[in-house]
Amino acid sequence: MGTLEKDGSNPLIFDGRPESWPLLKNTLHQLLDKEGYGWVLEGGDDLCTMLQSASAKAAKSTVTFGKGAVSTNVADYQKKHLPTAFTNASVTTSVLLELIANRKTVLGAHHADHEKMVMTEEELAQAHEVLDAKRLMMGNRTVVPWLHDAVYPNTSEDASHYQAQVHPQDARGYQILQGEKLTTESLWAAQTRQIPAVHMYGRLAYKFEGMTDMIKCAFMEDLSELLNLATGDR
């Protein structure tokens, strides 16, 4: 999509081969550490671990071919497993520290003192919520195009061309790549599991680090389907 660098270049390249995964992961780690978005990888690792556990449990519970399949659709885990997996995860602390650091950067040394900020407690709390949401949105809108462009480096930026390649009922991928506001963004500070960038990295890690093909004795969804949550069906 040419969505990453101003000069149109893309530092991430991924062809979907297992041997290419370590290079993508290392490069992504360096980029996210530099930008302060390391929590995306931490959250993705938590998601990967949950999927691995579900896959292993399914594999042990049945020997019938096909019944041990585990969905990588995050929506299937929202009610129980995913919230539990993220409750005591390190990503929660990492996100909080990142948001506090951002508040200090934007508001200054008195970012937690409403009187010195000449605000009411409610006004300062609201300011924190706005800053937190913007910081997480920025992280998501940075990482999603990175991963998308690594896999689809020559995709046209034309909206009609893009929409023709995604599921007609799911425009979220195009919305994310264009920087449009999502309905879940206000929840991200408290529910990191809702962030699409976390979903994308977690599903990729599950594919290339979880050995799920061997556990299930069947191929996982291909790479395009793994990116479905953010870029639509291909």
pLDDT at residue 132 in the model: 92
User: Is residue 213 pLDDT above 50, yes or no?
Assistant: yes
pLDDT higher at 179 or 19: 19
Q: What is the pLDDT averaged over residues 129-140?
A: 91
> In this structure, what is the dihedral angle of CA atoms 59, 63, 65, 70, given to the nearest 10 degrees?
-20
pLDDT in tens, 158-205: 444 444 344 334 455 666 666 667 778 888 888 888 888 898 898 888
pLDDT in tens, 45-77: 988 888 888 877 776 665 544 455 677 777 777
CB-neighbour burial class of residue 108 (10 A; exposed 0-12, middle 13-18, buried 19+) = exposed
User: 55-91 as b/e, with b when 16 or more CB fall inside 10 Å?
Assistant: beebbeeeeeeeebebebebeebeeeebeebbeebeb
Handedness of CA 75, 77, 78, 79 (dihedral sign): positive
pLDDT in tens, 93-129: 888 898 999 999 999 999 999 999 999 999 999 999 9
Q: Provide the mean pLDDT of the chain.
A: 75
The CA distances from residue 94 to 97, 99, 193, 207, in Å, are 5, 9, 13, 24
Rg (CA), the chain: 19
pLDDT at residue 71 in the model: 78
